[in-house]
């Protein structure tokens, strides 16, 4: 009779079947492959650079740039490349920050509108979202730039709004606030108001805790601060700010703030495009709070605003924040499409630098590092906020 019982493996497992050895071996092979690839690329790069007669260093950043940048902080063509690049970074940040604010407002508005009980409002919001989400951003930027902003009337025939805003094919002119000598006094008022607000906030908080009731903690602090700020505004001799109005002088407007056509088109396109995505995020965030929660809140006797503030928002914000963060990052990265219409952002300036100096590798490294730093800072901030929001264990 044959013995069918399994054979007892004697001695050690051979190394080619030992999972511990295999794991290390597998990783070593993988790493070697990656390193080999990098080495090949590196030697190729050296060869390629030698062929082009270039060396890899950052000295060129101290050379005179020699090209003009149409907008941004004060800059002369005689400034160095590093300064030019800095102007590009600031331009990217400017359009991104303003764009994020506008896109969030648009998104909030249309996201809530999509949940309206009014069919007309709901349908318009849906149409907005579906239209702008499904068309490439680059096409939208070009459309706004060439077909809308580019078709605005000439300077002489500017569209005037509210007496201080002028729109023409050279840009959008807005009144800009100019600080006066009274600004210091007003800031003092603001400081006092803030102090008062903090005190009132704490007092109200304590009181609510004592009563053990939900309520709006800043109910006293907010109006108090506003009243002090407003009083300060009127009590300050000569007002803290004066408005610098744009005025038509000769062939162009002088004074005030100017948004160039490139900037305006880019800003509109970025805000409208990202706003459509944010609207969907807001809608799904609010819808994710189950109906029972609202009904329960009603049953407990909370009113509409309390339900929204204490029940719906605390549950939907943690759901909204992560995708919202990635939309903000997307907007920042998408602002690089400015290169198509000549807005001097990071990529656009970087491109000019590359063609002028031929130093493509360091410039690419600088562009990518800048974006990575922006992305990582934003995600770090948003992660911190997310943790703070989620601090109450759900």
Partner 1 sequence: MEEREFTQEMKPPAHTKSPARWLKDNLFNTWYNVLLSCLVLVVLFFVFKVLLTWAFTEAKWGVIPANLQLFGVGSYPREQIWRVWSVIYIFCVLVGLSAGIWGALTLRFALVLGGIWFIGALSPFELSTRGWFLGAVATTVVSLLLGRGRTNLRPWILGGWLLSFPLIMIVLRGFGENGVLTSNWGGLLLTLILAVVGIVVSFPLGVFLALCRQSDLPAIRWISTAYIEAVRGVPLITILFMGNILVPIFMPGLDINQVLRMMLGITFFSAAYMAENVRGGLQGIPRGQHEAAQAVGLNYVQTMLFIVLPQALRSVIPAIVGQFIALFKDTSLVAIIGLIDLLGVARSVIANPDWFGLQAEVYLFAAIIYFIFSYSMSYGSQEIETALGVGEH
Residues that bind partner 1 (CB under 8 A): 23, 26-28, 30-31, 34, 41, 44-45, 47-49, 51-52, 117-121, 124, 130-131, 133-140, 142-143, 146-147, 150-151, 333-334, 336-337, 339-340, 347, 351, 354, 360-361, 364, 367-368, 371-372, 375-376
CB 202 to partner 1: min, Å: 37
Instruction: Answer yes or no: are the C-beta atoms of 250 and 282 closer than 8 Å.
Output: no
* Of residues 91 and 236, the one with the C-beta less far from partner 1: 91
- Considering the complex, state which of residue 41 and residue 58 has its C-beta at the smaller distance from partner 1: 41
143 vs 233, which CB is nearer to partner 1?
Answer: 143
CB of 110 to partner 1, least distance (A): 13
Q: Identify whether the C-beta of residue 246 lies closer than 8 Å to the C-beta of residue 252.
A: no
Task: In angstroms, give the least distance from the CB of 139 to partner 1.
Answer: 6
CB 172 within 8 A of CB 165: yes
Task: Tell me the closest approach of the beta carbon of residue 350 to partner 1, in angstroms.
Answer: 8
Residue 65 exposed, middle or buried by CB count within 10 Å (0-12, 13-18, 19+): buried
Given the complex with partner 1, which of 140 and 271 has the nearer CB atom? Answer: 140
With respect to partner 1, which residue has the nearer C-beta, 3 or 134? 134
Bridge partners (DSSP) listed for residue 253: 248
Pseudo-torsion of CA 341, 163, 105, 135, nearest 10°? -30
- Give the nearer residue to partner 1 in terms of CB position, either 125 or 228: 125
Token pair for residue 372? 């990575």
The separation between CA 25 and the C-alpha centre of its own chain, rounded to angstroms, equals: 44
132 vs 253 by CB, closer to partner 1: 132
Taking the complex as a whole, the smallest distance from the CB of residue 14 to partner 1 amounts, in Å, to 18
- Give the nearest distance from C-beta 26 to partner 1 in angstroms: 6
Minimum distance between the CB of residue 149 and partner 1, rounded to whole angstroms?
A: 11
């Amino acid at each position: 009779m044959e013995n069918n019982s399994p054979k007892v493996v004697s001695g050690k497992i051979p190394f080619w079947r030992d999972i511990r050895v295999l794991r290390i071996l597998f990783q070593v092979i993988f790493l070697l492959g990656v390193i080999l690839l990098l080495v090949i690329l590196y030697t190729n790069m050296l060869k390629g650079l030698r062929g082009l007669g270039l060396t890899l260093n950052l000295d060129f950043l101290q050379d005179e740039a020699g090209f003009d940048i149409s907008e941004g902080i004060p800059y002369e063509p005689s400034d160095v490349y590093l300064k030019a690049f800095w102007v590009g970074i600031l331009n990217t940040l400017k359009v991104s920050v303003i764009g994020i604010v506008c896109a969030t407002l648009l998104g909030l508005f249309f996201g809530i509108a999509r949940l309206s009980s009014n069919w007309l409002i709901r349908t318009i919001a849906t149409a907005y979202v579906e239209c702008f989400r499904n068309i490439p951003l680059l096409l939208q930027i070009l459309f706004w730039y060439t077909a809308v902003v580019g078709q605005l009337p000439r300077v002489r025939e500017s569209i005037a709004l509210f007496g201080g805003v002028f729109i023409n094919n050279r840009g959008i002119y807005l009144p800009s606030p100019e600080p006066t000598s009274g600004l210091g006094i007003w800031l003092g008022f603001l400081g006092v108001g803030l102090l008062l607000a903090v005190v009132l906030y704490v007092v109200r908080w304590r009181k609510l805790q004592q009563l053990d009731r939900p309520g709006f903690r800043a109910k006293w602090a907010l109006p108090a601060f506003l009243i002090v700020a407003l009083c300060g505004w009127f009590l300050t001799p000569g007002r803290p700010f004066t408005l610098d109005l744009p005025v038509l002088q000769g062939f162009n407007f002088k004074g005030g703030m100017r948004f160039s056509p490139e900037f305006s088109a880019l800003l509109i396109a970025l805000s409208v495009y990202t706003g459509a995505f944010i609207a969907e995020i807001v809608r799904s965030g609010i819808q994710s709070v189950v109906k029972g929660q609202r009904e329960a809140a009603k049953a407990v006797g909370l009113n509409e605003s309390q339900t929204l503030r204490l029940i719906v928002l605390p549950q939907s914000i943690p759901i909204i924040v992560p995708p919202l963060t990635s939309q903000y990052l997307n907007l920042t990265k998408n602002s690089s499409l400015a290169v198509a219409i000549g807005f001097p952002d990071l990529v656009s300036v970087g491109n000019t630098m590359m063609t002028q100096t031929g130093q493509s590798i360091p410039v690419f490294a600088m562009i990518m590092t800048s974006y990575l730093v922006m992305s990582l800072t934003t995600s770090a901030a948003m992660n911190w906020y997310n943790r703070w929001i989620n601090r109450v264990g759900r």
